[in-house]
Amino acid sequence: MPPPVGSLLWRSLRAYQIYGANTEVGKTVFTTILCKAAAEFWKPEKTTYLKPVSTGPLNEADDYHIGRFTSDVSPHTLFQYDLAVSPHIAAGVSNKFVPSDESLLSKIHAFASERAAQGPGWLFVETAGGVHSPGPMGNTQADMYMPLRLPVVLIGDSKLGGISQTISSYESLKMRGYDVEAVMLFQEDKYQNYLYLTDYFAERHGIPVKSLAAPPERQESIILDRSHMQDYYEVACTDTTTREILEHLDTRHQQRILRLESMAEAAHKQIWYPFTQQKHLPADKITVIDSARGDYFQTLSPAPGAESGQALLNPSFDGSASWWTQGLGHADPQLTLAAAYAAGRYGHVMFAEAVHEPALALAEKLLKGMNNPRLTRVFFSDNGSTGAEVAVKMALRAARLRYGWDTSSKLGILGLKGSYHGDTIGAMDCAEPGTFNEKVEWYEGKGHWLDYPTVVCRDGEWVVELPADLREHLGNGGQKFETLSHVFNVKHREDRGESQKYEAYIVETLKKLQQKGHRFGALMLEPVVLGAGGMMLVDPLFQRTLVSVVRQHPELFGTAECTASEGDETTWTGLPVIFDEVFTGLYRLGRFSAASFLGVHPDISVHAKLLTGGLVPLCTTLASESIFEAFESDDKSDALLHGHSYTAHAVGCQVAIESVGEMQKMDARGDWAWAKKASSTPGAKLTEGEGVWSVWSNEFVDFVSQRQSVDGIWALGSVLAIHMRSEDGAAGYKSNAARDLQAALLRGVEEEGTKWNVHSRVLGNVLYLMTGQKTSEESVRKVQSLLSRALKA
């Protein structure tokens, strides 16, 4: 497994990729002209030609052509297959070695890197066929070469139909994040494509289209043919157009670097960062991200020296899944196309009293996927915070009407300590006072938040622990389990009576709160994991018991005459139960819904982040009919008064359909079998159910749990949370242990000439890592290995 590939950018090397709008459009001719002219104009700098994959007989190969018609250009081919067909077929029938996409890119990187180290020069990388012609492994070139992010010279098609080919090829490149810096094509006067395209690209895209005379007709005599071509190239290379295009490419190369190198400073002066004390953020600590693909950012590294051959861009594993959003990995072409389709079909259309296909199809998919008989309705908003506010508006109204309270009643949230539901004031008010909100002027915590037992692996053992406040009620805790799956076997544990003391404690607490006059309008939980509040894995049996108690004891919340449950079994009782699955839902923890770990059906469920697979903001708040009915009235103002302009925007909905659908397919196909295997404990006896799993291997979790600097660790689904021991033994925000580990991951390593690192986030004394749902076993292993080394150091 080669190291992750870096994008190709060096100060010393002007590197461009030549894509063709079709085969037979003159790709090699234009590349020869560019190579030859660059070598002449930029003497004594070195000009290099690279054909990564070539098909057809050697003596017809493009590098052969380049070699024949230029003198100071060094042509290279990395892989050559004899049959003159597309590489995927030629490689398939060949006896020669066929590189994986990763190793092909790695080889190109190594080649270009070596070239860059030799001093200033040009590199032209010629592709094969059209932009979507398949590479040796069958993926199309436009997809395969994305991570290199070489700027492109697109060779347009001057033939009949060539306008269409050129524009479509441009769009396929553009939607994969390529920067097409110039279009070149032959002057052909019957179809005049070059005239049309010059205007088109100038007006629409601000891109220069440069045309040159076509080469002379092929001669039967080889000698004559070569002589004509030689003459043609001599003329073409001295054409002003050729000089202009090279100067343009040279300028764009400098501009790209100049801009990248000035971005941190510009951001430092003009951006107001979220959740950041900018007094502590000097410009040089701002990460400049040039692009991202799959699990990796491409980030700028300082590379001083006017002609430096040091790589400016290096891969950086996105260890927070970009603030918990990435499901299918960055820049997944399927997700892009889904977004583009919805944009092209609707743009955005207003949603009040209207419906469009993506919104309805997403609503149906979510209601079905949740497999929760209570949920029948979908409300759309823009992010987890707004979706949580919607959930609260829903629940409070339902509770207030059920219990006959008037509008001036102060209703609170029943929740867990360390809960987090977002940063808008209403969402903040659902959380207890703490670091994240106590200084915010309008914040006013509304409710009561319970202590709870947590789960952690320490010194190789899974333990359910109790915070100090709970120990007086529930004993000292410290119950040990053979595996995490045993902890999650909640029905079995319930049958064994483990929930009884939880139940007693909860009832007692609620009674006291009632006596103090507390009025609650909702039970609001992040099922299984409290994310932003500190990556706490809650004992699932406690959350299950809490929901059960609330539902079975309406008398603890309402007045006596209103406590009888009405309707069918999907009607809420006690309090409306809200599950905030923004972080934990949609396969983050390995399952469609985190509620399934508890075996509990909430009345309201909030979903965002992974919902759109990591592309655009969108949130859905799902609710039961018994909640919905609380807003039905003859008075318009009794409606749920919430809405955003881009409610149920088509792009977000379409992307969510694609993203959720793809994860469902992965689930059904068993794509995570490797993870289930790697995270299972050998010899562990599971009494029922399939157990829980994570992409982080059992050995790795075990290893980390035994480090002296580590207080505890847990891994579930794509999440890994390492609770570091602080120097003085006290965990919390003062601790530097997590920050030290984070810094070690950011320093990264160098493998086979490529530097790469892991970009991670800390929450107080917790360093967490989170993969996307498409992250490969190999990628996880790489990160594990880097982390293991950092912990040993």
Q: Which of residues 606-625 bind a second copy (CB under 8 A)?
A: 608-609, 614-617, 621, 623
Among 78, 117, 257, 263, binds a second copy (CB under 8 A): 263
Residues 123-162 that bind a second copy (CB under 8 A): 129-134, 138, 140, 146, 149, 160-161
Give the shortest CB-398-to-a second copy separation in angstroms: 10
Subset of 514-573 contacting a second copy (CB under 8 A): 521
CB of residue 377 to a second copy, shortest distance in Å: 4
* Strand 152-155, strand 73-81: pairing: unpaired
CB of 173 to a second copy, least distance (A): 9
Under 8 Å CB-to-CB from 298, ≥6 apart: which residues?
6, 7, 147, 149, 289, 290, 291, 292, 313, 314, 315, 316
User: Where in 301-320 is the site for a second copy (CB under 8 A)?
Assistant: 318, 320
Q: From the list 274, 304, 683, 729, which residue makes contact with a second copy (rule: CB under 8 A)? A: 274
CA quadruple 34, 228, 231, 208: dihedral sign = negative
Of residues 158 through 177, those in contact with a second copy by CB under 8 A are 160-161, 163-169, 171-172, 174-177
Cβ(576)–Cβ(374) below 8 Å = no
How far CA 9 is from CA of 21, 104, 303, 530, 569, in Å, comes to 24, 17, 11, 41, 62
Among 107, 40, 47, 102, residue whose Cα is nearest residue 77:
107
Nearest-approach distance from CB 289 to a second copy, in angstroms: 5
Residue 3: CB minimum distance to a second copy, A: 21
446 binds a second copy (CB under 8 A): yes
Q: Which of residues 638-667 bind a second copy (CB under 8 A)?
A: 638-647, 649, 651-652
Question: For a second copy, which stretch binds (CB under 8 A), given 35-43, 64-72, 382-390, 494-502?
Answer: 382-390
Type and span of the H or E element at 787: helix 777-792
Q: Shortest distance, CB of residue 211 to a second copy, whole angstroms? A: 16
Residues 197-256 that bind a second copy (CB under 8 A): 204
In the bound state with a second copy, the residue whose beta carbon lies nearer, of 636 and 685, is 636
Class of residue 261 by CB neighbours under 10 A (exposed 0-12, middle 13-18, buried 19+)? middle
User: What one-letter code names the amino acid at 196?
Assistant: Y
DSSP per-residue codes, 585-635: TTTTTSSS-THHHHT---SEEEE-GGGGTSSS--EEEEEEHHHHGGG--SS
Asked if 442 interacts with a second copy (CB under 8 A), we say: yes
How far is residue 660's CA from residue 612's CA, in Å, rounded to a whole number?
Answer: 8
Smallest distance from a second copy to CB 389, Å? 5
Q: Please report whether residue 776 would count as binding a second copy according to CB under 8 A.
A: no
Residue 27: CB minimum distance to a second copy, A? 11
Q: Which of residues 400-419 bind a second copy (CB under 8 A)?
A: 400, 407, 409, 411
Residues 347-376 binding a second copy (CB under 8 A) are 347-357, 359-360, 363-364, 367, 376
Answer yes or no whether residue 441 interacts with a second copy by CB under 8 A.
yes
Q: Site residues for a second copy, window 704-763 (CB under 8 A)?
A: 733, 761
Q: What gap in Å lies between CA 556 and CA 576, rounded to an integer?
A: 13
- Site membership for a second copy, residue 380 (CB under 8 A): yes
Answer for the pair 130, 171: CB distance below 8 angstroms, yes or no: no
Q: Which two tokens stand for residue 450?
A: 């319970």
Interface with a second copy (CB under 8 A), residue total 172
The identity of residue 598, as a single letter, is: L
Chain positions 25 to 54 lying near a second copy, rule: CB under 8 A, are: none
Of 296 and 672, nearer to a second copy (C-beta) is 296
Helix (H, G, I), strand (E, B) or coil at 700: helix
Contact present, 377 and 630 (Cβ < 8 Å): no
One character per residue 590-609, x = contact with a second copy (rule: CB under 8 A): ------------------xx
Distances (CA, A) of 273 to 280, 549, 766: 12, 42, 22
